Structure 1
Amino acid sequence: MASANSRRAAALLRNRARANRAEARARRAAATAARRVRTGPRSLATHIIATGAPLDIVAGAADALRTQARKAGIRGHAARIRRTLNGRARRVVTIYRYTAEQVAQIVANYKPRKAEYKAIRAALAA
């Protein structure tokens, strides 16, 4: 029978391994997104992920940039994709992909208030 100390040590190792895998996944996603952004037009969310932003604030920042793009009259390249809903239906959805130059124009008009969004704006402007 295992002692409490050995169980605690095993749990600590499991949790550390889990955290390391999550961090590696986030780093890999950012690196992949950065490579894709360099090669052609991508969604606003992909541009934001390429900056290394935390994944929990990507959707909000992308929505804000989408609003700024609409105000500036910047339309990306339209594409049709099949989006999976609830694990079953694949509905056809029109999405827009933006080049790095278009994102730079959008960011020029974007004046965020939240600190996280300001960091994203600075990274996208660079």
Structure 2
Amino acid sequence: MASANFRRAATVIRDRARANRAEARARRSAATAARRVRTGPRSLATHIIATGAPLDVVSGAADALRTQARKAGVRGRAARIRRTFNGRARRVVTVYRYTAEQVAQIVANYKPRKAEYKVIRAALAAA
């Protein structure tokens, strides 16, 4: 039978390994997004992920940038994708992809209030 110290140590090692895997996944997704942004037009969410922003704020920041794009009159390149709804129906949806220059133009008008969004704005403006 394993001692309490052994079980505690095993738990610490398992939790550390899980945290390391999660961090590696986040780094890998940010690096992949950054490479894709360099090669051509991408969605606003991909541009935000490429800055290394936490994934829980990406959709809110992308929505805010989409609003600013409409106000600034910046139209991305339209693309058609097949999106899965409710686990089975694949509907054709029009999405818009933006170049890095277009994102810089959108960010110039963007004045966020939340601290997380201000960090994202600064990272997008620097890119």
TM-score range, shorter chain: over 0.9
Counterpart secondary structure, 1:55: coil
Post-superposition shift, 1:88?
Answer: 2.0
Partner of residue 28, structure 1: 28
Partner of residue 43, structure 1: 43
Unpaired segments of 5 or more residues in structure 1?
none
Q: Measure the CA separation in 2 of the matches of 1:112 and 1:72.
A: 15
Q: Percent identity?
A: 90
Compared CA separation, residues 86 and 12, structure 1 to 2 (3 A): farther
Partner of residue 66, structure 1: 66
TM-score normalised by L of structure 2 = 0.96
Post-superposition shift, 1:90?
Answer: 1.6
1:106 aligns with 2:95: no
Partner of residue 9, structure 1: 9
Partner of residue 85, structure 2: 85
The residue identity in structure 2 corresponding to 1:93 is V
Post-superposition shift, 1:89?
Answer: 2.0
Unpaired segments of 5 or more residues in structure 2?
none
Query: What do residues 20-70 of structure 1 show as CA deviations (whole Å, max 9, x unaligned)?
Result: 000000000000000000000000000000001011100000000000001
Post-superposition shift, 1:7?
Answer: 1.1
Q: Measure the CA separation in 2 of the matches of 1:82 and 1:93.
A: 6
Report how many residues are paired: 126
TM-score normalised by L of structure 1 = 0.97
Q: Measure the CA separation in 2 of the matches of 1:31 and 1:71.
A: 30
